[in-house]
Amino acid sequence: MIPLLISSQIREADAFTIEQEPVTSVDLMERASKAFVDIFIKEFPDQDKSIVVYCGTGNNGGDGLAIARLLKRAHYPKVSVKIARFSDKASPDFKANLEKLKHTRIKLLEINAGAPLQEESSDIIIDALLGTGLNKPLQGDYARLVDALNQLNSTIVAVDVPTGFFTDGAPPAGATVLKTGLVITFQQPKINFLLPESASCMDRFKVADIGLNKSFIESLDSPYQLISKKDIRQLLKPRKSFDHKGTYGHALIIAGQQLTMGAALLCSSACAHTGAGLTTACIPESGLTALNTTLAEVMAIVRDGKNQPEIKWEKFNVVAAGPGLGTDADSLALLEKAFKEFNKPMVVDADALNMLAQKPEVLKNIPKGSIITPHMKEFDRLFGEHQSWWQRLETMRQKANELGIYILLKNRYTITGTPSGKLYFNATGNPAMASGGMGDVLTGVIASLLAQKYTSGEACIIGAYLHGKTGDELAMPHLLNTVLAGQLAKHIPVTLAKLMS
């Protein structure tokens, strides 16, 4: 896991590294700037482009000055610097780097407070105005400059964070932020990069390792964690020689209606392909032919409307409910029955969540350790409207704790909230997976992992990663625009095998 820090903790890690390593703060700035330049060179190899570095007078600006100097040394001759002198204060490391810059032949311009803005025609703008030191929304000169830069069509690359961007906490509504193409950020992604609001001011980010002290970062025990491939490889349990289907558990999938049987099939297929020993689908009679012809390995229990099916709950290691289930009274009665009679963790998704939104008191009966897998709209239907994603994170932590459940909120970076208050961010996955049925597949994957005796937390973390990784393996090599859910389900064993090799 990579612990994700809030800005005050980043400052602590910075100070600890300076004292402990030891390294002077100006040398750490040099290291950060070099790491930035290494990535910049790979991204923008054309040394003929004109580059201007806009610098503030704090440490982000200090980085900018060092970056200009290092770019010049790396044979980018058309690099120049503009310093925004909007404050009387300047950090010591900014001043030290300004001295060093004066020994180069780099063109240097100052923009004074209140002065009219100069025209800007450089091919690439490097933004080193403000970084993680931001403590209020941009106003006055900074806002004017950023507004003007936002009108240009240049490529903008931010140092650490786009100027005006709040790295954690709910961003103030309507705040001015520089719109950047690429952010080269230091040490680790900032938490708000992983939330959808960041899309309006950055297309993508790259992380430059600047060697902050890793054990100190670990010791901060951040609630925000980024899942890595290494974690998944450590969590996955290899199969053993004398294992049999009983070892890998029996999953029951309560899903599907006559017109939404696809959801039940996709969920059951994903469950079987992720390795559950046995999968049974509880479906309407109208879906039997489809199930028997497409998924011969999956067994059936028939739901026929009024009469509740006889389910021997104790036979199952996990019950997943929701995909294409509908929200009628029979479905609700069955969900309530499952909550009462199945006393192990369940997976609750889609229509099952919609029913809970309509009758919130039922949610209190959800078995402890269960996993709910809402997307943003389902989440808000359940827990109320939210003004920002940061607020949603807070609600997740609170509700997961209150109900003793795991909440997996689906998005570009899917987030799992645990009863103990941790939030795990998953980075695998891609836009080709934005198609119908993907959520049903994820539910099947997670149910399968629970059947195979992974804990609820492990099932969320592995499930989110595996689902996204499988989509990446299918889409990336051919730059596919679309990956279908059924195709993804069938490819899971290949991705799993690679992860376990």
Ligand X SMILES: NC(=O)C1=CN([C@@H]2O[C@H](COP(=O)(O)OP(=O)(O)OC[C@H]3O[C@@H](n4cnc5c(N)ncnc54)[C@H](O)[C@@H]3O)[C@@H](O)[C@H]2O)[C@H](O)CC1
Residue type, 467: H
- Ligand-binding site membership of 440 (annotated): yes
- Ligand-binding site membership of 340 (annotated): no
CB of 218 to ligand X, least distance (A): 16
Nearer to ligand X, 167 or 428 (CB): 167
- Ligand-binding site membership of 63 (annotated): yes
Please give the backbone phi and psi of residue 159, each rounded to the nearest 5 degrees, phi first.
Answer: -90, 115
Region from 29-37, 126-134, 218-226, 393-401 binding K ion, contact rule CB under 5 A: 126-134
Q: Tell me if 323 sits within 8 A of 443, measured CB to CB.
A: yes
Strands (E), 340-432: 346-348, 371-372, 406-409, 414-417, 423-426
Residue 132 binds ligand X (CB under 6 A): yes
Buried b (16+ CB within 10 A) or exposed e, 270-298: bbbbbbbbbbbbbbbeebeebbeeebeeb
| Rg of the chain taking only CA atoms, in angstroms | 26
CB of 159 to K ion, least distance (A): 5
Identify residues 345-364 at the interface with ligand X (CB under 6 A): none
- Ligand-binding site membership of 112 (annotated): no
Query: How far apart are alpha carbons 412 and 460 in whole angstroms?
Result: 15
- Find residue 283's DSSP bridge partners: 302
Interface map 20-59 toward ligand X (x if CB under 6 A):
--------xx--x-----------------------x-xx
Output DSSP code: residue 136: S
What are the angstrom distances between the C-alpha of 408 and each of 32, 268, 360, 372, 433? 35, 19, 18, 6, 17
Q: Give every CB contact of residue 479 below 8 A, 6+ residues apart in sequence.
A: none
Residue 427 binds ligand X (CB under 6 A): no
Look at the block and give the residue holding tokens 């690679």.
Answer: 498
Among 134, 348, 485, 489, binds ligand X (CB under 6 A): 134
Among 159, 232, 346, 400, binds K ion (CB under 5 A): 159
- Ligand-binding site membership of 189 (annotated): no
Residue 159 binds ligand X (CB under 6 A): yes
Output DSSP code: residue 304: B
- Ligand-binding site membership of 231 (annotated): no
- Look at residue 335 and give its three-state secondary structure: helix
Q: Tell me if 345 sits within 8 A of 318, measured CB to CB.
A: yes
CB of 154 to ligand X, least distance (A): 20
Query: How far apart are alpha carbons 167 and 426 in whole angstroms?
Result: 18
Nearer to ligand X, 142 or 425 (CB): 142
Identify residues 58-97 at the interface with K ion (CB under 5 A): 60
Q: Taking each helix axis from N to C terminus, what angle separates 438-451 and 456-475, rounded to the nearest 10 degrees?
A: 140
Q: What is the 3-state secondary structure (H, E, C) of 27-67?
A: HHHHHHHHHHHHHHHHHCCCCCCCEEEEECCCHHHHHHHHH
Look at the block and give the residue holding tokens 């992983």.
Answer: 194
Residue 208 binds K ion (CB under 5 A): no
Among 93, 127, 231, 349, binds K ion (CB under 5 A): 127
Among residues 81, 58, 56, the alpha carbon closest in space to that of 68 is found at 81
Q: Which does 97 bind (CB under 5 to 8 A by kind): K ion, ligand X, none?
A: none
CB of 3 to ligand X, least distance (A): 14
Helices (H), 163-228: 214-219
Interface map 92-131 toward ligand X (x if CB under 6 A):
--------------------------------------xx
Nearer to ligand X, 82 or 397 (CB): 82
Helix (H) or strand (E) holding 303: strand 299-303
Pairing verdict, β 250-254 and 278-284? parallel
Nearer to ligand X, 20 or 258 (CB): 20
- Ligand-binding site membership of 324 (annotated): yes
Nearer to K ion, 63 or 378 (CB): 63
- Look at residue 11 and give its three-state secondary structure: helix
- Ligand-binding site membership of 24 (annotated): no
Among 35, 126, 158, 332, binds K ion (CB under 5 A): 158
Residue 192 binds ligand X (CB under 6 A): no
- Look at residue 317 and give its three-state secondary structure: coil
CB of 170 to ligand X, least distance (A): 16
Residue 142 binds ligand X (CB under 6 A): yes
CB of 13 to ligand X, least distance (A): 6
Query: How far apart are alpha carbons 76 and 169 in whole angstroms?
Result: 38
- Ligand-binding site membership of 142 (annotated): yes
Residue type, 371: I
Size of the site for ligand X (CB under 6 A): 27
Residue 14 binds K ion (CB under 5 A): no
Nearer to K ion, 140 or 421 (CB): 140
Region from 55-63, 137-145, 216-224, 386-394 binding K ion, contact rule CB under 5 A: 55-63
Percent composition of the chain: helix, strand, coil (DSSP 3-state, to 5): 45, 20, 35
Which residues of the shown chain bind ligand X in the complex (CB under 6 A)?
Answer: 10, 14, 28-29, 32, 56, 58-63, 91, 130-136, 138, 142, 159-160, 186-187, 212
Binding site residues for (6S)-NADPHX, as ranges?
59-63, 131-137, 142, 160, 263, 324, 375, 440
Binding site residues for AMP, as ranges?
410-414, 439
Binding site residues for K(+), as ranges?
60, 127, 163
Which residues of the shown chain bind K ion in the complex (CB under 5 A)?
Answer: 60, 127, 131, 158-159, 163
Binding site residues, as ranges?
59-63, 127, 131-137, 142, 160, 163, 263, 324, 375, 410-414, 439-440
